[in-house]
Structure 1
Amino acid sequence: MHAQNQSLLDALNACIAACEHCATACLQEDDVKMMARCISLDRDCADVCALTARLVARGSEHAAHLLRECAEVCKACGDECEKHGAHMQHCKECAEACRRCEEACRAGISVAA
């Protein structure tokens, strides 16, 4: 596997783990309703990253398209998590993972195209 693909897959998998952890931790917060958008975006981001990772790993002709969508979802999730990151470590870590993944996806678009 190409080294750039491996670093992309690493970023995608790290983002999946961070988003899943963040969603679970948000569900334990006192005001879960306030965290609803964060939880929803965490779940969407984890799912899109997982599908993207599978398409990249198999060298799918559709990977470039999905990388664009993945970068967009990672940005949205990172933006939302940053709103809570000052008070919630799990959101801070998730935002950081989303930013790294967004950057890796954008870099991967040209390789996959």
Structure 2
Amino acid sequence: MHHLSEEMQACIEQCLKCYATCLSMASGHCLEAGGEHVEPKHFRLMLACAEMCRASAHLMLLGSPQHRQSCAACAEICRECAEDCERVGDMEACVAACRACAESCRAMAA
């Protein structure tokens, strides 16, 4: 197995945490809460964020050089998701996970 830097290992962990948080909050919290939580634009953004985080973690685990592009896109979508979850409200766990992942992915993309 190739060696992952501490920075990359930390980013993978942030991505996987954000993936799990967005997916579980979308399928649990948002579907139960209804209203703005299930607006198509918001719900799609949460699912897209979860998938982008999963994909970025996957590319880093593979040791793929394309992880930089993936992480750049991931940082952007996480930023958008954090803002939208904050707008909708009562989604602090998602906001925190997305912000932490965006920060970590921005550093990985640099």
What is the SS of the residue equivalent to 1:45?
helix
Determine the C-alpha separation between the residues in 2 that align with 1:78 and 1:3. Answer: 25
Unpaired stretches in structure 1, ≥5 consecutive residues = none
How do 1:37-52 residues align onto structure 2 when only pairs under 5 Å count? 37-52=41-56
Identical-residue share of aligned pairs (%): 30
Q: Normalized against structure 2, the TM-score is what? A: 0.88
CA contact (8 A) 1:42 1:77 kept: yes
| Aligned-pair CA distance for 1:34 | 5.4
1:2 maps to which of 5, 11, 31: 5
Partner of 1:82 in structure 2?
86
Partner of 2:31 in structure 1?
27
1:14 maps to which of 17, 30, 34: 17
Deviations 1:81-103 (A, max 9, x none): 01123xx2xx1110110000000
Q: What is the CA RMSD across the aligned residues, in angstroms?
A: 1.5
Partner of 1:72 in structure 2?
76
Q: Paired residues, what number?
A: 106
Runs of 4+ off more than 6 Å: none
Partner of 2:98 in structure 1?
98
Out of 98-107 and 35-44, give the one that drifted further: 35-44
Change (3 A) 1:57 1:30: closer
CA contact (8 A) 1:22 1:39 kept: no
Unpaired stretches in structure 2, ≥5 consecutive residues = none
